[in-house]
Structure 1
Amino acid sequence: MNCTHSKEAVLRRLKKIEGQVKGIQRMIDEEQSCIDILVQVTAVRAAINRVGTIIVMNQTRKCLGDVPMTTEQEQVMEKLLGELSKFSE
């Protein structure tokens, strides 16, 4: 993990997701509207996708950290990682 998204930050996100899942369980137990439950399921899916993207981005930066790149190559890599982030939201 890098300083942008530290291990602690990812763990905080996962704890939040855990709370969201418990909320969905409560909603089902209380027999709330299917639409409302599906909205929350969609939110959890988006959140977990974001965590996965952060992990992929951090690992990519870590793996390429020792590889010498030109400024242009670094800019292209950052742009690619930014687009990857948008894709999984």
Structure 2
Amino acid sequence: MCACERTKGEAAAENAEKSCCGCVKHKYRDKDSKEYKCLVSRLKRIEGQVRGVCKMVEDDRYCVDILTQVSAIQSALNAFNKELLAQHIKSCVVDDIRAGHDEVVDELVATLQKVMK
């Protein structure tokens, strides 16, 4: 069955079957999904920015220009975190709560505290 034809419940059941031990922390992510590809694309773009900054340092470019690029990288990473967190809440957290795994709420709180430092 194509991923786009599955209901959320079917996808959650399939994910539970594919996890290594069935616990909340080990999940399978569909690598063919649009969301997955978008996240990987963002990370590759950020990787390119980091390589660019490295080259700027090697080329002894003006410090302010380097700092500007580093700030852009930080913004891109923050945007990545927001997107990944939103996907996590909408899928993993919701599925786990529906399955009776209320401990996922504590994990989410701890994750938010780390991300919001």
TM range (shorter): 0.5 to 0.7
The residue that corresponds to 1:23 in the other structure is: 52
User: What's the C-alpha RMSD, in Å, of the aligned pairs?
Assistant: 1.9
1:49 counterpart = 2:78:
yes
Report the counterpart of residue 74 of structure 1 in structure 2.
Answer: none
Structure 1 counterpart of 2:87, from 37, 44, 58: 58
TM-score, normalising length from structure 2? 0.51
What amino acid sits opposite 1:16 in the alignment? R
Name the CA distance, whole Å, in 1 between partners of 2:80 and 2:74. 10
Cα deviation digits, residues 9-64 of structure 1 (max 9, x gap): 00000000000000000000000000000000000000011111111100111122
- Out of 32, 35, 57, the position equivalent to 2:61 is 32
Which blocks of at least 5 consecutive residues in structure 2 are unaligned?
1-28, 99-115
Q: Which moved more, 1:58-67 or 1:10-19?
A: 58-67
Aligned to 1:12: 41
SS at match of 1:31: coil
Q: 1:10 and 1:60 mapped to 2: Cα distance?
A: 15
Of the two, which has the highest radius of gyration? 2
Structure 1: runs of 5 or more not aligned: 68-87
Identical-residue share of aligned pairs (%): 29
* Aligned residues between the structures: 65
